[in-house]
Amino acid sequence: MDSYIPFCGTPPVPTELWTRWQFDPVLLAGLAALGAVLAFKARSRTPALVGWSLVVLLFVSPLCAASMALFSARVAQHLLLTLVAAPVLARAMPLRGPDVLPVACVFTALFWVWHVPGPYAATLQSDLVYWLMHLSLLGAAWLLWSSVLSAVASRPDTVVLGIALSAAQMSLLSALLVFARDPWHGWHMLSTVPYGLSPLADQQLAGGIMWVAGGALMLVAVAALVRLVFRAQDGPHYSAPSA
Amino acid sequence: MIDATADRPRQGPVLEELRTYEEAWATPPGWRRLSSVSHRVVGQRFIVTGLVFFLIAGFLALLVRTQLIVPENTFLDAETYNQVFTMHGTLMMFLFAIPILEGFGVYLLPLMLGARDLVFPRLGAFGYWCYLFGGLIVLASFVFDAAPDGGWFMYTPLSTKEFTPGLSADFWLIGITFAEIASVTAAVELIAAILCTRAPGMSLTKMPIFAWYMLVTAFMITVGFPPLIVGSILLEVERLIGLPFFDPALGGDPLLWQHLFWLFGHPEVYIIFLPAAGMVATMLPTFVGKPLFGYGYAVAAVVTMGFISFGLWAHHMFATGLPTITLTLFSAASTIVTIPTGVQIFCFILTLAQKRPRLTVPMHFILGFLFIFVIGGLTGVMLAAVPFNWQAHDSYFVVAHLHYVLIGGMVFPLIGAFYYWTPHFTGRMMSERLGKWAFWLMFSGFHITFFLMHITGLRGMPRRISTYPAGIGWDRLNLLSTIGSYILAAGVVVFVWDFIAHRWRGPLAPRNPWKAGTLEWLYPPIAPGHNFHAIPRVHSREPLWDQPDLLENEAHETRGLLRDAPHGRRETVGCHPLSGEPLQIVRLPHPTWIPLLTAFAVAVSFSAVLASLYDIAAAGAVAALFGFAAWAWEPSETGQTITTNDEGTLPVDVASRLGHTHIAIIGTLMIMVALFASVLFAVMFLWNVQPEFTRLAGDPDLFWTSIAVACGLGMSLVAWLARSAPMAVLDLAVALLAGVAGWALYQAVLPTDPMATALAATLWVMAGFIGTQQFVLLYWSLFLALRKVSGQVAAGQIVPEINRVPYALVTAGMLIAAAVVLAAPQLEVLK
């Protein structure tokens, strides 16, 4: 157990960070497989390419290593994965699944589970759990945004409630991260110091990122969805009759 | 002044040939008018009561300004001064701004949407009485010389028993919580009304813009008010019984109150602003003669604002020692809100740019709104910058900012709205001449008062001080501010005088006096109490502009649905929530005393808590439960059909998820989930800020926790089955499982001592909240069983069974979440 090195390696110091790209063959094979599925199945090419590139970047780039040192980097990675890559991929290749609300509940549960101490530590003890985390988060988010996009015209009520739930749980979790008196994750007790951050400050930064950037991404999604509904069925306009 | 014609405004017309129909909709005369539940009557009650609270609160503001007119003034002593400014803020925010705007929504929305009444008229009436009684409780504190004096946000620890002995804070907490029942019930009612009773053809994208603003506002109320309700209950329980929620010595935290308060308080600002902005977006196109520019963008901006407002509460707490590293991010978040606000303001400006507006009195107030609100927004951007915020915190700069936003963003549009819609209430026009006097007095008085306060604040004067020493640069500014406030008050007096006197001096209002495009102006004022003899089909957002025949013909001859009601029942057309196409007939209640009596029972209950007479409080609560049962005990009419004139045959009270009662249940559940989430936040917040107290008060019993979860899941399953097989025995099973789940949850928390730590106390509150949910299900299911056994229900009448399913499911979800929270500290795997 002690000799285990997590998937993304040991926590890097800032100077070596930019050299820490992740070219694990299994990872590359998986990403290639995802690319192949998208190439054949995606409804539209551009979002497929954008979404896939982002996923590649999130796992191959030094962000993977950075998240070994900083919890805030991990949170940023998860936000980009679930709130940017997932909706873009859902647009390219919608998955079929249950209604928005049940999916939002599952997404909420997973989002909490993978950020609280016990399971979070487990992801750093086993490659399997590490991938379980990322695949379940990406899968649930992909499913969530797929069901949102398919229901937005026919059942906007569930979309509103589902997004409200997803946004609210994220705000609640981020508030706890910001206001907690002690750091949650033992792993980061020493890893953040080379970056000039205490573990607590790193955690507060993570909470702040989740709160503000996560909230902003949710807002963009909400505004885009409303516009989508209106573009589909904008009514005619009339001026006052000139008396 | 134009002399009024001898003719009086008449409400009508009342058609002889539709005698049963007209009689069904007649408002009871004399004192029995109090039993009326019509939205036209209830809306006017809200508006007039709100106006009275505005005048009282405005008078208190003048007392404040008079005290500050010269340094070292002795007009009010410090204690009275504290009471006066506290009551000024409290009355303005809770008993004037929200209720009066909801009153306009209650009055106008059915008229604009093409409905004869709101879908739950009795709920609206009940809400009004709760508001009135709650407001009277708050006001009664003056009589007992126990007016609250802790500021309108009642910060702990100042408001705890130790530092505020006596009853003053209790008056505030109980009265305001009671009045908030009105706000949340009205919100549920508006959601259901907007989504379920629109004219045929009025899809969501063709709704009048005001309906969109009110819809978003109503959703925000359902989520935004619960944190304060929870906070108030926690504080009141701490004051009454001594549970240590806010006591740091026992693992509590005074900041918990601030979080809960601003979780409510920040959305509250938008809840006040949005309906007023919706009024502007309605009036402005009328005076320009062009539709609102960028309707879709405005809607997107409003919806986004609804979301964003819940993420910003921390910016009211910049000075409470938030983590430094997150301050920049919060500061950035606070400036983001300028984007959706800016989109709306630009929609207004571009509407104005299309054509020269008619400079009527309402138009003056709209321009005043734009000018003042933009300045308030800019000082808001200044305050979003943390270094400046620290400098200006708790100074008169903040006082100036918030009055610019609230008076500019809400009061000016509101007075404009009074001038615009009063003809609809009274059938007479208010005076253009007096209106312009009112506007210029208010506008100039406002700026003299509040613009100077920015400078007073920058010169260091803190808010809420009862007096100040001479010669430190504040004297002249305060003198001028006070003079300005008198000018502002003079403007309000002119408006109020006009509002009263126009009833006998104002000229009769012609049909569609402002040449508006929205449906409320279809009838010559005063429109009949049922709003429409027949409900016309609409094709656009401006039906009166686009369908000239609507105004060319007599209003009562308009072609449409549901002309006449030979069965003598009140009813309106229920629509598909999205397309607006007719879906069902919604049966509406006739005048009844039950809402008034039930609200009175609740008022007795609340007042008895205040007086520590718990037997009477319990009796009041039981009486209220009987009231609710009597309310709901009416024959189900699902399965009947009505032949309409144009759209064929429609079913009555359709048993479907699209029905109005189901949508109301979803709205209610949003309130419940928000209440639960607030409690959950309190639990987890305390757990994280004082972790060493986590297990000091004992561990919850996990065996009983799992029994509770199992019963909750079973209860949901049976409720779900009962939907397709409605039988009394299944109702009894739901009731039994709900009861056992509640009892098991009680057993689960029993090993913890709520007096020992704040965390244990919040766990008890969490269990108590879920227990209440279980009790509702139990009561509801017993009620349904009783109806079935006594032969009240025919085959296919399954509306309540359909509605109970989401309630049971959400309750089970709460149970699961609660179980996780109860178990988490004991689970090794989570550490």
List of chain B residues whose C-beta atoms are within 8 Å of the C-beta of residue A226: 296, 299-300, 303-304
ipTM value of the model? 0.94
Please give the interface size between A and B, counted as residue pairs whose CB atoms are below 8 Å apart.
158
Give domain status of residue A215, yes or no: yes
List of chain A residues whose C-beta atoms are within 8 Å of the C-beta of residue B318: none
**Taking 80 as the threshold, does the pLDDT of residue B646 lie above it?**
no
Give domain status of residue A5, yes or no: no
Percent of chain B beyond pLDDT 70? 99
List of chain B residues whose C-beta atoms are within 8 Å of the C-beta of residue A239: 289-291, 542, 545
pLDDT given for residue A237 in this prediction: 58
pLDDT given for residue A2 in this prediction: 60
pLDDT given for residue A243 in this prediction: 45
Max distance between CA atoms of chain B, in angstroms, equals 84
Which amino acid would we find at residue B53?
F
Token pair belonging to B314: 């921390």
Give the nearest partner residue to B685 out of A179, A235, A242, using CB atoms: A179
List of chain A residues whose C-beta atoms are within 8 Å of the C-beta of residue B539: 236
CA end-to-end distance (rounded Å), chain B: 78
List of chain B residues whose C-beta atoms are within 8 Å of the C-beta of residue A159: none
Give domain status of residue A161, yes or no: yes
Total domains in the fold of chain A: 1
Nearest CA in chain B to A223: B300
pLDDT given for residue A238 in this prediction: 62
User: Which has more confidence, B627 or A242?
Assistant: B627
Chain B interface test: which of A101, A200, A238 (most B C-beta within 10 Å): A238
Average pLDDT over chain B reads 94
What is the residue extent of each domain of chain B? Answer: 38-505, 660-830
H/E stretch holding B575 reads: strand B570-575
User: How far is residue B609 from each of residues B184, B227, B246, B719, measured CA to CA in Å?
Assistant: 21, 21, 21, 35
**Taking 70 as the threshold, does the pLDDT of residue A1 lie above it?**
no
User: Does A233 contact B688 at a Cβ distance shorter than 8 Å?
Assistant: no
Give domain status of residue A147, yes or no: yes
List of chain A residues whose C-beta atoms are within 8 Å of the C-beta of residue B333: 211-212, 215-216
Q: State how far residue B191 is from chain A, nearest Cα, in angstroms.
A: 11
Q: State how far residue A203 is from chain B, nearest Cα, in angstroms.
A: 10
pLDDT given for residue B4 in this prediction: 45
Least confident segment among B243-257, B259-273, B328-342: B328-342
Q: Which CATH superfamily is domain B660-830 in?
A: Cytochrome c oxidase, subunit III, four-helix bundle (1.20.120.80)
Q: State how far residue A64 is from chain B, nearest Cα, in angstroms.
A: 23
List of chain A residues whose C-beta atoms are within 8 Å of the C-beta of residue B295: 237
List of chain A residues whose C-beta atoms are within 8 Å of the C-beta of residue B680: 172
Least confident segment among A225-234, B674-683, B720-729: A225-234
Tokens 């993420």 sit on residue: B311
Chain B interface test: which of A83, A111, A179, A192 (most B C-beta within 10 Å): A179
The CB-based long-range contact list for B438-441 (8 Å cut-off, 24+ gap) reads B438/B361, B438/B491, B438/B492, B438/B494, B438/B495, B438/B498, B439/B361, B439/B364, B439/B365, B439/B368, B439/B415, B439/B491, B440/B491, B441/B487, B441/B488, B441/B490, B441/B491, B441/B494
Percent of chain B beyond pLDDT 90? 85
List of chain B residues whose C-beta atoms are within 8 Å of the C-beta of residue A157: 577, 663, 666
Give domain status of residue A152, yes or no: yes
Nearest CA in chain A to B517: A240
**Taking 90 as the threshold, does the pLDDT of residue A228 lie above it?**
no
User: Does A168 contact B677 at a Cβ distance shorter than 8 Å?
Assistant: yes
8 Å CB contact between B160 and B241:
no
Chain B interface test: which of A226, A228, A234, A242 (most B C-beta within 10 Å): A226
pLDDT tens-digit map of B198-236: 999 999 999 999 999 999 999 999 999 999 999 999 999
Average pLDDT over chain A reads 92
Give the nearest partner residue to B541 out of A209, A226, A235, using CB atoms: A235
Nearest CA in chain A to B667: A161
- Cis before B157? omega within 30: yes
**Taking 70 as the threshold, does the pLDDT of residue B318 lie above it?**
yes
pLDDT tens-digit map of B228-239: 999 999 999 999
List of chain A residues whose C-beta atoms are within 8 Å of the C-beta of residue B329: 208-209, 211-213
Confidence of residue B3 (pLDDT cuts 50, 70, 90): very low
8 Å CB contact between B233 and B676:
no
The partner residues of B586 in beta bridges, in order of sequence, read: B572
Q: State how far residue B637 is from chain A, nearest Cα, in angstroms.
A: 26
Q: State how far residue A241 is from chain B, nearest Cα, in angstroms.
A: 6
pLDDT tens-digit map of B809-826: 999 999 999 999 999 988
User: Does A237 contact B286 at a Cβ distance shorter than 8 Å?
Assistant: no
**Taking 60 as the threshold, does the pLDDT of residue B1 lie above it?**
no
Nearest CA in chain B to A217: B308
CA–CA dist A4, B483 (Å, integer): 76
Work out the average pLDDT over A77-103: 95
Give the nearest partner residue to B300 out of A167, A223, A233, using CB atoms: A223
Domain carrying residue A223: 18-230
Confidence of residue A242 (pLDDT cuts 50, 70, 90): low
Give the nearest partner residue to B205 out of A178, A234, A241, using CB atoms: A234
pTM of the complete model: 0.96
List of chain B residues whose C-beta atoms are within 8 Å of the C-beta of residue A178: 314, 322-323, 326
Task: Write the DSSP string, B583-628.
Answer: EEEEEEPPP-SHHHHHHHHHHHHHHHHHTT-HHHHHHHHHHHHHHH
| Contacts of A119 by beta carbon, 8 Å cutoff, 6+ apart | A113, A129, A133, B829, B830
8 Å CB contact between B167 and B141:
yes
pLDDT given for residue A234 in this prediction: 54
Work out the average pLDDT over B317-327: 90
How many CB atoms neighbour CB A106 within 10 A? 17
Chain B interface test: which of A106, A172, A237, A242 (most B C-beta within 10 Å): A237
CATH of B38-505, one of 1.20.58.100, 1.20.210.10, 3.40.50.300, 3.40.50.12240: 1.20.210.10
Nearest CA in chain A to B253: A179
CA–CA dist B748, B770 (Å, integer): 13
Alpha helices in B726-798 (DSSP H): 728-749, 758-789
CA–CA dist B269, B257 (Å, integer): 18
Give domain status of residue A237, yes or no: no
User: How far is residue B286 from each of residues B80, B363, B462, B690, measured CA to CA in Å?
Assistant: 46, 10, 43, 57
Work out the average pLDDT over B536-548: 93
pLDDT tens-digit map of B481-506: 999 999 999 999 999 999 999 999 99
Give domain status of residue A176, yes or no: yes
Tokens 């040192």 sit on residue: A69
**Taking 70 as the threshold, does the pLDDT of residue B5 lie above it?**
no
Q: State how far residue B42 is from chain A, nearest Cα, in angstroms.
A: 28
Give domain status of residue A239, yes or no: no
Least confident segment among A101-110, B758-767, B788-797: B788-797
Which amino acid would we find at residue B226?
P
Q: Are strands B570-575 and B582-588 parallel, antiparallel or unpaired?
A: antiparallel
CA–CA dist B527, B656 (Å, integer): 33
Give the nearest partner residue to A216 out of B336, B542, B548, using CB atoms: B336
**Taking 90 as the threshold, does the pLDDT of residue B585 lie above it?**
yes
